[in-house]
Structure 1
Amino acid sequence: MLIYILREINIPRTEINVWETVSYYFQKDKKQLSNEFQDFHDRLTYKYPCLSESSDTVWGDGPLINNFGDKVACIDLIIGFSKEEEKKSIQALNYIVSLATEFNFDLYLEGTNKIIRPNKVARKYDQLTSKGIILALILMSLFNISDHVYNIENEIPFKPTGGKRAIVDVAFYGIAKVCIKVVDYDTLQFILKNITIIVIIWYLYDIYNYFIFKRRSQYLIRSSKKFRRN
């Protein structure tokens, strides 16, 4: 199975003939080996030795470095018939995907007509995590302000906590004093509950989209195993 690794080549998702585009870039790419591809190759062959160095390998040809250029590299990965050989080859494929994520490379697996962008999956996860933290902090802040509104309505004395937290408490208390001029505690609670429901649904929808995107990428990788008998 041939795996094409793309560096700084942006192939649109709307591209119909992905293989023809990848093949064009590969044939055109006769420049000197890039430093990034050199590092990629060195780390790859450190874990899975090149065919020119060992016969016990997952690669179909060698030296592997000959298939690396400036923008495109081509790797011939052998996926064997036995379970042990297949397991080793799939582990190598996963390692290629992991390295591509780290180097921000895209992948094209022979016969899929799709570009796999593993780094995009990683970025989506980071964005999802960051968004979750930000939304949680916003909701915590809003409910903290709501508590201060309740205390003001019921004339409970304001007692800020000590240390750096006191600055935050004073700020929330000041916002609460402004809010209470516009809305009472019960109305504020109603608004906050609805905001919370909307935020949770919005975030769950983002999580759903992330897993759909991730599964599509993983499916392309897993489905490539069928080419071992071609």
Structure 2
Amino acid sequence: MSFTVDLILTDIPENNKDAWSFIEQLREEYYEDKSGAHSKLQEFNEDLTKKYPCLCSFADDDPEMENSPWADGPMMENFASKMGMVAIVWSRADEVFPFVLDSALALDIIVADGQSEKIYRPGM
């Protein structure tokens, strides 16, 4: 099981109920989006993987892979033009999520946490 958050690069409704419906629609588009990662998500990925290397950076037999907080990889494959997703190993979520959140908000990326049903908007 992993702690997964949505990273959103487009305006969403202010009302959270409407915003979650909109995010569901974005997810449908996300799974079909083959245009590549938005430049902000590329920068976000760089910030994250400087501190916590992507799973894809480890050799298959590297025991350090077990210490990675990421639930999947390569992480860049989880980013598209309007949206991305990050999956954190559940046992590391309390440690890693604040860093993910701060990094995203610094780049004006909205973070939607489906576990708590909270939406974090830049500047708020």
2:53 partner SS: coil
Separation of aligned partners in 1, 2:108 and 2:119: 13
Higher relative contact order (CA 8 A, sep 6+): 2
Compare the two structures and name the one with the higher helix fraction. 1
2:90 partner SS: coil
2:71 to 39, 56, 60: 60
2:81 to 70, 74, 99: 70
Compare the two structures and name the one with the higher strand fraction. 2
TM-score of the aligned structures, taking structure 1 as reference length:
0.44
Identity %: 22
TM-score of the aligned structures, taking structure 2 as reference length:
0.78
The residue type paired with residue 78 of structure 1 is: V
Larger radius of gyration: 1
Separation of aligned partners in 2, 1:114 and 1:28: 25
Conserved? CA contact 2:52–2:68, under 8 Å? yes
2:5 partner SS: strand
Deviation at 1:34, TM superposition (A): 2.2
Instruction: Figure out how many residues of one structure are paired with residues of the other and give that number.
Output: 112
Determine the structure 2 residue equivalent to 1:115. 119
Q: Does 1:79 align with 2:90?
A: yes
Deviation at 1:50, TM superposition (A): 0.6
Determine the structure 2 residue equivalent to 1:5. 7
